[in-house]
Structure formats: structure tokens, C-alpha cells
Amino acid sequence: MKTEILHSKLERYLAGKAMPAETRQIQAWLSCTEKDAQLSPEEKSLLELEILHEIQAYTAYPLFYPKKKESWWQKFAAFF
Amino acid sequence: MSRIVIEDQALIDHLSVNDTDAFEELYHRYWCSLYLYCLKKLHSPEAARIIVRDIFISIWEKRHELPVTFSISSHLYAEVRKQVVKSLNNKLADVHEAPCIEAWLSKEFSVESLQAARNPVCKIRIINKPSELIRQQTNMMNKTEGQTTLEHIKWIFHSLTNRLSLTNILSYYKN
């Protein structure tokens, strides 16, 4: 499919003006998850932290809602 | 490290009282599947990263407005699909980027590729079931379900008869 055609289809879909067939086509594409991409464990943990830091930087929630330090018995109890 | 699994709904309730731990727990639960989905659809790690980030920022910012019946998984499912379409639309609007994505996009939007989405979901689920994997890896692979059940019944019957005969022998000797 030509990108121009797809672009106009997506425009209509986002505006809620797509034809039923176009909606079905786009939704079929969105639902098609046969082959999943994979991340290595190192890559995954690094990315996980990076995105979380970006969220924290944007919302600044650690500044407004700092974490309370757990007491020793709470840390101990968490193991059980 | 706690082994208690807290339900999503409980985490959402905690979120409304500015519980950052609950928010981070939700993030750790869902970020990866969202990221991989976006990566698969957009072929762009940067776009996937932005989508995941923006979705969680919006959850944090709307934490006081979340309805009582809010379902995080349904929300994420709908939101990620919407964001993927928006991102793709922006890419297509970009004169420099559109020709680069045409190759894989035309392939993914072909009838053959979209046909996969119409396959029944239960088929995929059955293959991924541990029992099915065990069945495939053992010699039961070529046997039908009926044959397997018959073998199970045979096994139960044999074990029962063995046990009964053993108890009979024992009782005989006792007497």
C-alpha cells in the first residue's frame, strides 16, 4: 500500500471518520502480533530504568512524594 | 523482597493517594509489553520509548481523576493502540521519513500479513499451554486426545488392581 493512501486512511481513522473497511484493516494490523520483538535481559533492565527516570524527571514525583525509608523490621518481614 | 502479589485494582486505589510505589509497581508490570508492542509496530525504539513514557506520565497526572471501575490493562491496551496509530500517522506526514518506512509498512499491510490477525486466538493459546508443550516433547505427540485419555484410564485401572491385589495378599497372610 502506498504511504499516501495509508496516511489518508490513518487521518480518517484518528478523526473517527474512517469507513468500516478501513477501520477493520487498521485494527487488524494493530491486532497482528505474531512475531514478538525480544530484548536481552541487560538491555531490558537498562531501558526500564531509563524510561522510569524520564517519567520521574517529567512529573517530578520523587520530589513531591519522597519515599519513606523502611525500618529494619519491615525489610526483614518483606522476606516472608 | 515481598512475595505478595497485589492486584492492579489495589494499586490503582493506592495511586489516587499519591503512592509512588504503586505507580512504579504498575510501571514495572506493564512497560515491557507496551514497549515491545510499539517496537514491533513502529520499528523505532525511540518512538516506542516515547509512547511508553507518555502513557505512564498521563496515568500519573490523571491519578486523581481515574474512575472507580478503572481497568489499567484495558486502558493501556486502548491507549497504546491509539498512540501507535498517531505516531505512524506523524511518520507518514514527515516527507523525509515516509519513504523509509514504506517498505516494511506495505508488507505489514498486505492481505497475507493481516490474515494472521484473523486466526483464532485460542489456537495460539493452546500451543503455549504447558501441557501442550509437554505433550509435544514427549512421545504423546502422535497420539490423539482420546488415545491419551484411554491410556490414563488404563493406568488408573492397573494401579488400582495392583493395589487391590497387594492388599488382598497382605490380608490373606495376616489371616
Stated pTM of the model? 0.71
Q: Which residue has the cell 517530578?
A: A60
Could you list the pLDDT tens digit for every one of the 175 residues in chain B?
445 678 888 899 999 899 999 999 999 999 999 999 999 999 999 999 999 999 999 999 999 998 888 899 999 999 999 999 999 999 888 878 777 788 788 888 887 777 776 666 555 555 556 666 556 555 555 566 667 777 778 777 777 777 776 666 666 666 6
Judged by phi (left if over 0) then psi (alpha if -120 to 50, else beta), residue A60 lies in: left
Chain A residues touching B18 at Cβ < 8 A: 61, 64-65
Chain B residues touching A63 at Cβ < 8 A: none
Give which of B110, B114, B57 is closest to B83, Cα–Cα.
Answer: B57
Grid cell of B17 as nine digits: 493517594
Q: What is the pLDDT of residue A13?
A: 92
- Considering only residues A56 and B98, tell me which one the structure prediction assigns the higher pLDDT: A56
- A63 in contact with chain B, both atoms CB, cutoff 8 A: no
Cβ contact, residue pair A52, B27, below 8 Å: yes
| Residue B1 to chain A, least CA–CA distance (Å) | 5
Grid cell of B60 as nine digits: 500519573
Domains and CATH numbers, chain B: 8-118 (1.10.1740.10)
Indicate the residue of B20, B41, B92 with minimum beta-carbon distance to A65.
B20
| Residue B70 to chain A, least CA–CA distance (Å) | 21
State chain A's mean pLDDT as an integer: 86
Q: What is the pLDDT of residue B1?
A: 46
Segments in B43-97 forming alpha helices (H): 45-61, 72-93
Cβ contact, residue pair A6, B105, below 8 Å: yes
- A69 in contact with chain B, both atoms CB, cutoff 8 A: no
Backbone angles phi, psi at B80, to 5 degrees: -65, -35
